[in-house]
Amino acid sequence: MATAAAASASEPEAEAPAGPQAEGEEDEVNADGSRRKVLSRAVAAATYKAAGPGCEAPEEGVSDSGGDEEDYAMASSAESSPGECEWEYDDDEEKNQLEIERLEEQLSINVFDYNCHVDLIRLLRLEGELTKVRAARQKMSEIFPLTEELWLEWLHDEINMALDGVDREQVYELFERAVKDYICPDIWLEYGQYSVGGIGQKGGLEKVRSVFERALSSVGLHMTKGLAIWEAYREFESAVVEAARPMADFLTPSDREQTFDSQLEKVHSLFRRQLAIPLYDMEATFAEYEEWSEDPIPEVVAQSYAKALQQLEKYKPYEEALLRAEAPRLAEYQAYIEFEMKGGDPARIQLIFERALVENCLVPDLWIRYSQYLDRQLKVKDLVLSVHSRAVRNCPWTVALWSRYLLAMERHGAEHQVISATFEKALSAGFIQATDYVEIWQTYLDYLRRRVDFKQDSSKELEELRSAFTRALEYLKQEVEERFSESGDPSCVIMQNWARIEARLCSNMQKARELWDSIMTKGNAKYANMWLEYYSLERAHGDTQHCRKALHRAVQCTSDYPEHVCEVLLTMERTEGTLEDWDIAVQKTETRLARVSEQRIKAAEKEAALALQEEEKAEQRKRTRAEKKALKRKKKPRGADKHKADEDEEEEEWGDDEEEQPNKRRKLENSVPPASDAQDQEAEMGLFGRSAPTDAKAPSKQERAAALKRDVPKVAHDSTKDSVTVFVSNLPYSLAEPDAKLRPLFEACGEVAEIRPIFSNRGDFRGYCYVEFKEEKSALQALGLDRKVVEGRPMFVSPCVDKSKNPDFKVFRYSTALEKHKLFISGLPFSCTKEELEELCEVHGTVKDIRLVTNRAGKPKGLAYVEYESESQASQAVIKMDGTTIRENTIKVAISNPPQRKVPEKPEARKGPAGPMVPRQMYGARGKGRTQLSLLPRALQRPGAPAPQAENGPAPKPAAPASTATEAPMMSNADFAKLLLRK
């Protein structure tokens, strides 16, 4: 199994037509000769050790690493870039010193400035400050994982400065740190080569073999860079064979078998192991084995080689895709990962994850997926914890990685002190949202709760849990709120959990009540669900007296759903209370509901007053336009000019009407008028169902339209059953037999008493209905069906609430904030299907959902929302898909960022310099009515007042003379509504 090691941020991939080779391999050709000389000289000492005690070492045997290190330094210098081992001194040394001081001061302020660390190391190295550059590198490596380039530069400097065995051990330790940050084929190769230089020391031969074996475990499966490790290891063992060959004839048969023949078998074994792995340039390795081996190639080896070649052909498309793409190649790596996951080889899966993280080390989703695979599949403690540790070092701002790290440490039995220290690091990581701190605190508190033995009345762990809860609340109040200017826990989730633990596990209801009092004082007393949660806790672990007290307070304080709280109080008194308790409850609930109803009536009156003012302003604007048109008519143009002027006037007239009401749809005079907006709004609020037509003497077209109406009975909605009823909307208008279609879906939640679909005057289904259950718990369970797709549209399931009594009740269906994992695509052909778009988008990642935007008639609008599995996939798709062409249509692709919904202001705040603004709510759910006819009864019309005129009728006549200005204005719809409200 391959050992987890991560790769550098700019891992060069292979490229070559016959057998792709790693980038930069041409630069290493000159150094290969020096390396092989180093191998041949260095293995001389190992040869005499392998020969046994019967052979004497030569006079000039390699007893130390002096000469070898010189050769190795020469070989290393052949690879290094020009000027790497030379310190260049410019004329502006003083300027560099000033820059160094500035960088050091900046790091003292912000130690997490990555670029500042890199610049400081570069300048210190340039100035030859060896001690300071070593300290700077050490400080940076403690905070950040270093790239392969930074490690190689550091290692080369330390190798050149190493003088004795102690220095060599320090270099070994540095190599061990380097291979843990990322998967580093070049560092492993350097490590192996450097260890050869110490072969003359005690245990040097075993050290070399150990390093190479670990390198093979880490990167030996790398198709483009693993070949270099295999060849270096094989050359080392071959050099040992060649050095021992002259002595083989002088050894006894037993000594020869133990030394020379066993060493020869090591080389054979390396060839066989390498040829069984799919690697580039396998053919050359097989030819080399045939030339080197004195015996024919065994059949088993040939079969393994043939099988590896077949596997190589399967992997080539993914490797070639990596070669063609540009960094960071996230989509190509993800496709490669999917392929390896299907194969199921843990070593290869781990390797491709590590390779992907080389260039995408700042992608949290990739770390999460990798750690999740290790947590669920491999479950190797050292490997899992190592990956989690590297993940939080690369992406410390991601709270999900820290939470997973803490859970993994608990899962693998880490010490409590270690977990606590990791949690403290997480708090100082610098999360980007206030809610992130709540999440990490919840994870840690859950861990502490699992350590407590609640069978004991008191314990050290329980005291630690309580002190942690106290500290969490103080931290969120002092640190988080001051930094983000908002509370990360407005619903007091942490305090609620603490109260539940005290009540259920510690049987301490007194403490739980104190906590709930604190929760209610933080602005949660107006929410019914908070009171009902407290009532449930008191009901299960408290007493009836405190339950009654909580519900009485809830009736007085709740502002969102007071009816529901009142019903709960009455239900409790009906089953458990005395007559006196029942009378008190009835009195309080009636008083509260009467006050709520009065407040809602006052709010409606204010809205009506605003509507009246807006109507007056609209009339004034119409009179002003009429005066301007009258002045134009007095010019009396002649001939063609007159005809053109008439056309201009007509266009201007219609344009004014459209500017006045942009959402109004004009209809012909003989068209069938739709149902009134008041009926639409009341039906949606659950006041009644389908309304019957009232015009018995309609024109001929209306008669033909009436003939199309279906005989649908009128259904009255019973508002007393709202608790067992759900409101279902956003259904397709083309849904045939809604009752038969929806009943199987909702019967899974409980027994359905009735399904009431709502139809229009023409008998068409209006896209929403009511589903009534036998029990309240079934209605609550049915809310889980929200967003379930029914015939291609997401069905909305929400509580049945009378909006006339609860005007503040709203259920937002779609997000109004930035959705980084979702794309918004525009410019699509109207004929584009969901399957075609999915096929186009799947190339760039895993598509979770696609929604084509249609109008109310179900016709496409050329827009779509595509939801990917992660933010990184969505970002990659934007880059690749934006500006592409589909059926001669150039599409635009962007991250979904819906506009913020307009929150209606209070009536007092709507008044501006130009007067009060009319709220959209006065026109109902779909804007202003189409007819705009005056519904004022004749009995209320004043004598001499002109008849009200439809806004979509002919152009208004010129304004009346000034003498008529003193007459009372005509009554409008808003006036009539106001009169009704005053009764």
Residue where the block lists tokens 């992907």: 356
Q: Specify whether the CB–CB gap between 519 and 496 falls below 8 A.
A: yes
Distance CA 406, CA 402 (A): 6
Q: Specify whether the CB–CB gap between 716 and 689 falls below 8 A.
A: yes
Whether 650 is in a domain gets the answer no
Residues facing residue 853 across a β-bridge: 863
pLDDT at 784: 86
Tokens standing for 653? 């007239």
> pLDDT tens digits, residue range 502-533?
999 999 999 999 999 999 998 899 999 999 99
Whether 402 is in a domain gets the answer no
Distance CA 522, CA 755 (A): 41
% of residues, the chain, pLDDT over 90? 38
> pLDDT tens digits, residue range 91-106?
567 888 889 989 989 8
Q: 857: pLDDT confidence band, cut at 50, 70 and 90?
A: low
Tokens standing for 502? 């005290």
Find the mean pLDDT for residues 444-461. Answer: 92
Q: Which helix (H) or strand (E) holds 770?
A: strand 765-773
Would you give the DSSP letter of residue 785? G
User: Which of 284, 314, 344 is the C-terminal boundary of a domain?
Assistant: 314
Distance CA 861, CA 855 (A): 7
Identify whether residues 212 and 285 lie together within a single domain.
yes
Identify whether residues 756 and 855 lie together within a single domain.
no
Q: Specify whether the CB–CB gap between 750 and 813 falls below 8 A.
A: no
Residue 525 CA to its chain's centroid (Å): 32
Q: Specify whether the CB–CB gap between 634 and 942 falls below 8 A.
A: no
Domain that holds residue 101: 91-144
Residue 26 CA to its chain's centroid (Å): 43
Cβ atoms within 10 Å, residue 379: 12
Distance CA 782, CA 747 (A): 9
pLDDT at 672: 37
**Is the predicted pLDDT of residue 331 greater than 50, yes or no?**
yes
Query: pTM for the whole thing?
Result: 0.57
Find the mean pLDDT for residues 368-383. Answer: 92
Q: 14: pLDDT confidence band, cut at 50, 70 and 90?
A: very low
Phi–psi pair at 362, nearest 5 degrees = -100, 15
Distance CA 469, CA 495 (A): 8
**Using alpha carbons only, how large is the chain's radius of gyration in Å?**
40
Identify whether residues 866 and 758 lie together within a single domain.
no
Identify the weakest region by mean pLDDT among 66-70, 240-244, 682-686, 723-727.
682-686
> pLDDT tens digits, residue range 529-585?
999 999 999 999 999 999 999 999 999 999 889 999 999 999 999 999 999 999 999
Residue where the block lists tokens 């080539």: 316
Which position has the higher pLDDT, 200 or 601?
Answer: 601
**Is the predicted pLDDT of residue 662 greater than 70, yes or no?**
no
Find the mean pLDDT for residues 895-910. Answer: 58
Residues facing residue 894 across a β-bridge: 824
Phi–psi pair at 261, nearest 5 degrees = -65, -40
Identify whether residues 309 and 213 lie together within a single domain.
yes
Residues facing residue 728 across a β-bridge: 769, 797
Identify whether residues 105 and 227 lie together within a single domain.
no
Residue 738 is part of a domain; what is its CATH number? Answer: 3.30.70.330
Distance CA 261, CA 241 (A): 9
Which position has the higher pLDDT, 621 or 975?
Answer: 621
> pLDDT tens digits, residue range 154-210?
999 989 888 777 888 899 999 999 998 888 899 999 999 998 988 888 888 899 999
Whether 865 is in a domain gets the answer yes
Distance CA 237, CA 226 (A): 17
**Crossing angle of the two packed helices 29-51 and 204-219, in degrees rounded to 10:** 130
pLDDT at 534: 94
pLDDT at 820: 79
Q: 963: pLDDT confidence band, cut at 50, 70 and 90?
A: very low
Q: 908: pLDDT confidence band, cut at 50, 70 and 90?
A: very low
Residues facing residue 826 across a β-bridge: 863, 892
Distance CA 197, CA 185 (A): 19
**Is the predicted pLDDT of residue 663 greater than 60, yes or no?**
no
**Is the predicted pLDDT of residue 818 greater than 60, yes or no?**
yes
Identify whether residues 790 and 883 lie together within a single domain.
no
pLDDT at 334: 93
Cβ atoms within 10 Å, residue 128: 12
Distance CA 855, CA 859 (A): 6
Distance CA 694, CA 118 (A): 81
Phi–psi pair at 687, nearest 5 degrees = -80, -40
Identify whether residues 778 and 862 lie together within a single domain.
no
> pLDDT tens digits, residue range 693-720?
334 444 454 454 444 444 555 556 777 8
Query: C-alpha distances in angstroms, 117 versus 92, 107, 113, 653?
Result: 21, 8, 7, 69
Provide DSSP, 436-489: HHHHHHHHHHHHHHHH--TTSS--HHHHHHHHHHHHHHHHIIIIIHHHHSS-S-
Q: Specify whether the CB–CB gap between 778 and 786 falls below 8 A.
A: no
328 upstream amide cis, omega within 30 of 0: yes
Identify whether residues 858 and 754 lie together within a single domain.
no
Q: Specify whether the CB–CB gap between 40 and 306 falls below 8 A.
A: no
Whether 304 is in a domain gets the answer yes
* Average pLDDT across the chain, whole number: 77
Tokens standing for 328? 């960071």
Would you give the DSSP letter of residue 948? P
Query: C-alpha distances in angstroms, 766 versus 88, 120, 407?
Result: 80, 69, 50
pLDDT at 255: 62
pLDDT at 816: 60
pLDDT at 492: 93
**Is the predicted pLDDT of residue 588 greater than 90, yes or no?**
yes
Identify whether residues 777 and 839 lie together within a single domain.
no
Whether 14 is in a domain gets the answer no
Find the mean pLDDT for residues 869-887. Answer: 83
Query: C-alpha distances in angstroms, 217 versus 2, 190, 234, 236, 983?
Result: 5, 16, 15, 17, 88
Q: Specify whether the CB–CB gap between 423 and 385 falls below 8 A.
A: no
Q: Which amino acid is at 814?
A: Y
**Is the predicted pLDDT of residue 935 greater than 70, yes or no?**
no
Burial string for 634-661 (b: 16+ CB within 10 Å, else e) reads eeeeeeeeeeebeeeeeeebeeebeeeb
pLDDT at 817: 66
Identify whether residues 884 and 839 lie together within a single domain.
yes
- Helix (DSSP H) and strand (DSSP E) numbers for the chain: 37, 15
Q: 815: pLDDT confidence band, cut at 50, 70 and 90?
A: low
Listed in sequence order, the DSSP H helices in 634-672 are 639-660
Question: Which of 609-623, 855-869, 895-909 is most confident?
Answer: 609-623
User: Which of 895, 923, 938 is the C-terminal boundary of a domain?
Assistant: 895
Distance CA 347, CA 342 (A): 13
Distance CA 454, CA 94 (A): 67
Domain count, the chain: 4
Identify the weakest region by mean pLDDT among 34-48, 123-137, 438-452, 880-894.
34-48
Distance CA 827, CA 582 (A): 64
Find the mean pLDDT for residues 750-758. Answer: 91
pLDDT at 19: 37
Q: Which amino acid is at 894?
A: A
Whether 211 is in a domain gets the answer yes
Question: Which of 71-85, 448-462, 842-856 is most confident?
Answer: 448-462
Distance CA 314, CA 332 (A): 15
**Is the predicted pLDDT of residue 752 greater than 70, yes or no?**
yes
Please, which residues have CB within 8 angstroms of residue 470's CB and are 6 or more apart in sequence?
Answer: none
Which position has the higher pLDDT, 667 or 464?
Answer: 464
Q: Which helix (H) or strand (E) holds 238?
A: helix 226-248
**Is the predicted pLDDT of residue 907 greater than 80, yes or no?**
no
- Secondary structure (3-state) at 727: strand
Whether 679 is in a domain gets the answer no
Query: C-alpha distances in angstroms, 639 versus 417, 630, 644, 652?
Result: 98, 19, 9, 20
Residues facing residue 765 across a β-bridge: 759
**Is the predicted pLDDT of residue 501 greater than 70, yes or no?**
yes
Residue where the block lists tokens 């009436």: 706
Find the mean pLDDT for residues 822-849. Answer: 88
Please, which residues have CB within 8 angstroms of residue 301's CB and are 6 or more apart in sequence?
Answer: 271, 272, 275, 276
Distance CA 104, CA 133 (A): 12
Tokens standing for 231? 């060849």
User: Phi-psi category of 485—alpha, beta or left, where left has phi over 0 and alpha has psi -120 to 50?
Assistant: left
**Is the predicted pLDDT of residue 112 greater than 50, yes or no?**
yes
pLDDT at 629: 85
Tokens standing for 123? 């300048």
Identify whether residues 191 and 296 lie together within a single domain.
yes
Which position has the higher pLDDT, 402 or 26?
Answer: 402
Whether 625 is in a domain gets the answer no
Identify whether residues 795 and 827 lie together within a single domain.
no
Cβ atoms within 10 Å, residue 533: 17
pLDDT at 790: 86
